[in-house]
Chains A and B, each alone.
Chain A
Amino acid sequence: MKKSYIKGFLEDIILHLIAQEGESYGYELTRLVEEKTEGIIKLNEGALYPVLHKLENDGLLLSEFKDSGTRPRKYYRLAAKPEAKERVEEMALSAKAYITALNGLFST
């Protein structure tokens, strides 16, 4: 799949997955996306981390380093403020509307 298809949805995908998982880290997110989309969508590190840091800078995500047993691991979770939850819900609705619109276009 073309990378440009995914670019516009990256923030939605990441926020949605983190909201679903409760908390997650970079590598796990790449694995989750690959598993859930059966390998059709692949997140590369060069795209993933800037988006994670942007969402963190925007105050939508919070991060914390935790001991993963052998090394420190940076976990991200959704910020507790209502804007973060609202953004996730808005994004999910927009993504669904977009998918329905595309289905309408390509189903004929």
Chain B
Amino acid sequence: MREVEKVSPEELQFIFNFCKKKGFEFVDLRMELVDHLASQVEAVWQKEPELSFKTAFHKVYKSYGIFGFNNLYQVHSKLVWKKYWTLTKQEFMHWFKPPQIFASLLAGLLCYFGLSAFPFLGFYIWCFIYLGIVATMIYMIFKSKTVAKRIDKEQTMLLSSPRQFWWIFYLGYTLPLQMTSFSFVNQKSWGVLFTTLFLLISLLFIIANFKIIRLAEEQVYSIKSRLAYYHP
């Protein structure tokens, strides 16, 4: 019989690797799940202290039903998108609150009246938008890979944000290119308005993503120190 019914470092490592094999790739979420499972194993030991770790863990795993962790995994995958979307939305909201809203309005008015007076600027603005978005995507992919190396190439919810960025890039920037030639944008006043709004949204989107990847980088330092618990 165990003296202290606590999961040992080796057993903790087993649970950590087991969750990774089951597809819980985001280490920040996995750590929370590992603690939950370890607590459940310890609760089993309180009732049946004679059980081995493997038997107790199997008992816990079985309690998740016929699909095992599948339901939990699906929920976790959705959380990543939610986290990314919430942070992006927060950044957008930030620029629509005083005093930042004055800067947003000023940028919008400058762009609108500038384009109305000098329609040829439209071409350069669209080039700037697309180059900016592509450059941001390349930077995020590069940065997330570099930062991931600091935590044994593990992924966190925030570090995986280039994946979400890619979908927005595809749906918001490449699909419209396939459907329209964009020749209308400088010919009519609503085209000027559309260009102005698209520029502002793209700028905010780029700022939001830079902040997300910076936040991910800051988070990695604390994750790195916690990872030692799972690799005794």
Contact = CB atoms under 8 A, between A and B. Distances in A.
A72 B36 contact: no
Nearest to A54: B82
A27 B44 CA distance: 13
B40 A65 contact: no
Given A25-B35, A27-B35, A57-B83, A65 B72 contact: no
Contact of B36 (A26, A53, A65): A26
Interface in B50-96: 64, 71-72, 75-76, 78-79, 82-83, 86
Interface residues of B, number: 29
Interface of B: 6-9, 12, 29, 31-36, 38-40, 43, 64, 71-72, 75-76, 78-79, 82-83, 86, 222, 226, 229
Contacts of A45: 33, 36, 64, 72
A46 B35 contact: no
Interface in A10-58: 25-28, 31, 45-46, 49-50, 53-54, 57-58
Nearest to A58: B86
Given A57-B83, A72-B31, A74-B31, A50 B229 contact: no
Contacts of A31: 43
Contacts of A54: 82
Interface residues of A, number: 21
Given A49-B32, A70-B9, 15 more contacts: A25-B35, A45-B72, A46-B75, A50-B82, A53-B82, A54-B82, A65-B31, A70-B6, A70-B12, A70-B38, A71-B7, A71-B34, A73-B35, A74-B32, A74-B35
A70 B7 contact: yes
Contacts of A25: 35
Interface of A: 25-28, 31, 45-46, 49-50, 53-54, 57-58, 65, 68-74
A45 B71 CA distance: 9
24 contacts: A26-B35, A27-B39, A27-B40, A45-B33, A46-B75, A49-B33, A49-B72, A49-B79, A50-B75, A50-B79, A50-B82, A53-B79, A54-B82, A57-B86, A58-B86, A65-B31, A65-B226, A70-B6, A70-B9, A70-B229, A71-B38, A72-B226, A73-B35, A74-B32
B72 A72 contact: no
Contacts of A74: 31-32, 35
A26 B79 CA distance: 16
A50 B157 CA distance: 13
A35 to B, nearest CB: 12
B158 to A, nearest CB: 12
Contacts of B79: 49-50, 53
Contacts of B6: 69-70
A54 B7 CA distance: 29
B40 A71 contact: no
Contacts of B39: 27-28
B86 A65 contact: no
A95 B17 CA distance: 41
Contacts of B83: 53, 57
